[in-house]
Structure 1
Amino acid sequence: MNVKKYLLVVTVFSLILLIIPKGILVPTNAKGASFKEDVSSLECPFKIQTSLNFENFSYYFTIFTQDIQKSNYTLPGINGGYICIPEGVLLYAYFIQDSQSTLLFLGDNLTEKWKKEFPAYPLKHLNESLILVGNPRFGSSDTSCVYVIDISTGLLKNWFCPNVLGGYISDVKILHDRVYVTIGVPEAPPLRTRAFIYVKEGNKLRKSEIASISGEGVGIRLPIDANEKYVAVAYFLANERGEEKNGVCVLTARSLRKIACKELNEGERPLKVKVKDNIVYVQTTKGVKAYKILSLW
């Protein structure tokens, strides 16, 4: 084979690889699906009562040991909660719209260890780490950020601010040294809302587009799950005209190469997603769906 024919064959083969699907999602049995987070939980060694005071927008915490009131704490916020770990208990209160929170950590003897304010609100916790997200007003000129802090020390373990303005961070997933973030981003003109997934691994950063919808993103939900091989993102996008896009996409875990996507039926809004081995499960407003991932990658 001469050089010209060889180059022609390579070019044609490369074009075929670009055109054909990288994989497919095949419907399968959803029996046994579980959407529980792999998070260790610890029962608090004392009783904690919480209440909200709407007059001064404060969250109250009352701590009892053996039914005896021990201490009271007040933090600014209209939402709040607490997390118990072996070293003590974290009390937190926050304002979602303003992306502001106050965190207070008490040692196992209820002495104050640290107290901090964050320009973000708690999204979820993973064992002894707390994940907070800061979301500006959608479409504004501010940036969104993710913070991961050590609950026992209050020290910042990791952080990530996607280089976009006015985005909305929907979900965060941490797997080993990888931080996955999904975000809805407005673009204009013409007005359009795009959904992306980012992965930060050390100093490396990658991103991939999941889906998009015309108009303003008045509804955005992008739950994530990942294992060693795959990352799955379910998407719900809605605009101001009442149009929706619902579905799920599967990508390679490290490089974020898109393997396949599957649109959901009308009205099937995804709530949660879970990847187990080579099967992705999607909990929707109309039940659970499961798809087997078939791919050469």
Structure 2
Amino acid sequence: MKNELFLKYVGAFTENDSEIPLSDLGKSLASFERLVAELVKICRVNGEVVVTATVSREGSHVVDTIIHINNVAGQLPFDVPEYFIQFLKMAGDESWRQVAEHFKDLNNIREGLNSYVADHPVDIGVITWLITKLINKARNHKRSPFVEDKELPARVAKELYGLIKRNGFKGFVSPIINESVGEIEISPDREFRAGSAKINEGNFEDYLTEDNEILPDFVNGVEVVLDGEITSVKGTRGDSLTFQYIESGTVYNLELFPLAGKNTKHYVQFYKERVRVTAIVERTSMYKKPKLHLSDIEQAQATLNFE
């Protein structure tokens, strides 16, 4: 079995399902390599991890990858039998019972893993099934490492919790945050028929910590008055303005929708101008940028700073 994993990026809009910005796709794939390395480390598999893309299918949003684990040639990449047994058990490989029985004997423990594998070959390719399983399990540990799960050792649950706390999934799910992708599916099956993990609109928040919330003071349905700059008078997803707003040194490009009965042509005079807008906040998630529905707009008055 090859160490293959397949990624499917489902576009946010069905009519343009494969039109995903390369910046979003590239960031997600680069983050996926780091994520896999972290998950392999949690499995206590030794070796350098490199993920390579072998081919893309269905336009540009299905990517075939291979996970390379470079370790000392001919050696099983586990330090102790305990980690090897946990690895096989979590992956659902029934041979874990045979391995556990073998290493009950103290003499066999001293004999070592490599000697055992020489007589009982093991396909390390099950790592891809385990990585997919851990991605599925991780979201249950956003708030606590102590969720009861008979399929995971307590050590692994704790480390998945730590991975989320270190923002290990943030880059990978960024296309969902940016609303260019509606779902990312990960599977060891090239046809995505079995063993998949799916991260989508319904669960992506479970992979992010509270410090990833975007403009949390912007409450859905509440009116706000903001100063900023109109940097675009035509959005890529319909008739909208781009309102550049800065808070605490961070620049946010927010989607601003015209008043009812108007379109962006009515606001051309505000292009590249400093403006003050009154708008109603619309948001579906605290982890996505809020959208603004315009109530009023005017040029911002210049101020003098005498300090």
Of structures 1 and 2, the one scoring higher in RCO (CA 8 A, sep 6+) is 2
For the criterion TM > 0.5, the same-fold answer is: no
The structure whose Rg is larger is 2
What TM-score, normalized to structure 2? 0.20
**1 or 2, which has the higher strand percentage?**
1
